[in-house]
A and B are shown apart, each in its own frame.
Chain A
Amino acid sequence: MARRKVTGMSDRLRYAEISQSRPAEGEAGRTGDWRSKRPVLEAATCSAVKQGRESCQICWVYCPDASIARGVPPVIDLEYCKGCGICAEVCPTGSIAMQPEAEHGVCELPEGAE
């Protein structure tokens, strides 16, 4: 959504707001607040942790929003994670659980829900 820099530009760019974005962290907004379920990584069972080196990293490969950083264990950026759950699906050791945000005090559970 960046407005092109107008330094030195003539009047032709007076009404020049168009839809565009740059590849920068957060350019699409704080998408973490779209999330209804949160990925929680259990480090004890994560392959990379068990092997003591930066192995596997399949969650990092598959995260469609580049919200997971490589590491031992990989680190999920909850500021931008939309909660799609793909990391939990692809984790070969089942170390990522999708937990309702309500359980983390972000919102309230609907009445009667468990």
Chain B
Amino acid sequence: MRTMTTTVMTGNEAAATAAKLARVQVVAAYPITPQSPVVETISAWVESGELPAEFVAVESEHSALSVCIGASTVGARAFTATSANGLAYMTEQVWWAAGARLPIVMCIANRAMAAPWNVLNDQQDSMSVRDAGWVQLYCRDNSEILDTTVQAFRIAEECDLPVMVCYDGFLLSHTMMPVDVPDAATVDAFLPPRPAPLQVVDPADPRNVGPVVMAAPRADADGEPHGGYFEIRADHQRALLAAAEAVERANADWAAATGRDWGGLTWDYRLDDADIVLVAAGSLATQLTVAADELRDARIAAGVLGIRCYRPFPADEIAARLAGRALAIVFDKAMSYGYEGPIAGDIKTALFGREEAPRVHGVVCGLGGRDVPVSELVDAVRRAMATPTAGAPAAPSAAIDAASTEWLGLAEKSVS
């Protein structure tokens, strides 16, 4: 009989538990706050024999992902986790894992990028590698971290793409919550052993994986035509776009097996009749649901659209859910410096040229762990509603004021 056990655990423990349930074979990692407890937990399980996996202790994050790349290339199910500057340090291999189409799963306990040095939460780290060709999923609580990390392996192995499971540092990584832990049989039925890898290294069929590729297509030694760099990149993009369907299917199958439906690409709260839509990814979006309740109490028709899958970006789904609304207020915990918040910018792009598109107002908040109380979120909505130019097409995106990208709770220089 399949059973579900409710355990109180941190987000990091939920991530580690998911890796164990997924029967990972190789884990390589370097400690960094706030991710460290993920791999410390896994390393203890490997040491005790509870998890029959190879744990490779390395001297840097660059090596951590390099080991995962090697392991994944010979067919192993590989896992790692990192944060902030650790992710930045492995950036070269982040691109390599994606371009080589390796189904590695990496948890990101989201943390602010230095400088200035800061170990607290925002989403600048993973947002800064959104273009590298990984699937990126953002979680709103610890149960979702466990479920999404298990789903990530199936998505990765179906699409031959690496997947980042992102969750807010400290807010989720170190906060205890009840988590429903499925039993091994449930996960085994959902996640079969890794299928024959695309990049197989087999002594009976020797091949060189990842050699230099010219820009143009050309024939191999047998005269068979093959793509050049350009064609290989186009295949990568097609695979990433097709991954949206795999994300939805993984969520649906998981919901059927466990009763927990996290919404696939996006999720919503009190959205049906909402004129004002509050948008965010991760735990911030959970907080927006509380803000929406307060606004509803004040007879403001507010609802929440949560972004679960950020890459591939579900542009059509987001545009459909925003059609006919008056105003979308996008709360970003990251910046594309010199322009605007990344989710706000992507949503504007998704809506370009569509009929019934709402105004889109960007708000940046919570950088470096700055507290974002619900009252400030409610105030930001009220300010945006009272500012006719907020989110209007003419608003200069890169400015910092109530009409363009607003920095929530920004202090005036007050030291005299």
Task: Return B285 CB to nearest CB of chain A, in Å.
Answer: 31
Task: List, in ascending order, chain B residues with CB within 8 A of A20's CB.
Answer: 199, 207-211
Query: A21 near B211 (CB under 8 angstroms)?
Result: yes
Task: List, in ascending order, chain B residues with CB within 8 A of A18's CB.
Answer: 100-101, 198-199, 209-210, 232, 235
Answer yes or no: B168 CB below 8 A from chain A CBs: no
Interface size class of A (residues with CB under 8 A): 20 to 34
Answer yes or no: A24 CB below 8 A from chain B CBs: yes
Answer yes or no: A104 CB below 8 A from chain B CBs: no
Q: How many contacting A-B pairs (Cβ < 8 A)? A: 85
A residues 1-56 in Cβ contact with B at 8 Å = 1-4, 12-29
Interface of B is mostly: loop
Query: B158 near A19 (CB under 8 angstroms)?
Result: no
Map CB proximity to A onto B208-249 as digits: 1 under 8 Å, 0 otherwise.
Answer: 111111100010111010110001100110110010000000
Answer yes or no: B403 CB below 8 A from chain A CBs: no
Task: List, in ascending order, chain A residues with CB within 8 A of B226's CB.
Answer: 1-3, 17
Query: A13 near B222 (CB under 8 angstroms)?
Result: no
Answer yes or no: B49 CB below 8 A from chain A CBs: no
- Tell me the nearest residue of chain B to A12, going by C-beta: B158
Query: B231 near A28 (CB under 8 angstroms)?
Result: no
Query: A15 near B210 (CB under 8 angstroms)?
Result: no
B residues 100-117 in Cβ contact with A at 8 Å = 100-101
Show 23 A/B contacts (Cβ-Cβ < 8 Å), sorted by A: A1-B220, A2-B207, A12-B158, A12-B159, A15-B235, A16-B235, A17-B232, A18-B100, A19-B212, A19-B232, A20-B207, A20-B208, A20-B211, A21-B207, A21-B211, A21-B220, A22-B208, A22-B221, A23-B208, A25-B221, A27-B220, A27-B221, A29-B218
Q: Which 5 A-B pairs have the closest CB atoms?
A: A24-B221, A15-B239, A1-B226, A17-B235, A15-B238
Inter-chain pairs besides A16-B239, A18-B209, 6 sampled, C-beta below 8 Å: A1-B211, A12-B195, A18-B198, A18-B210, A19-B232, A23-B206
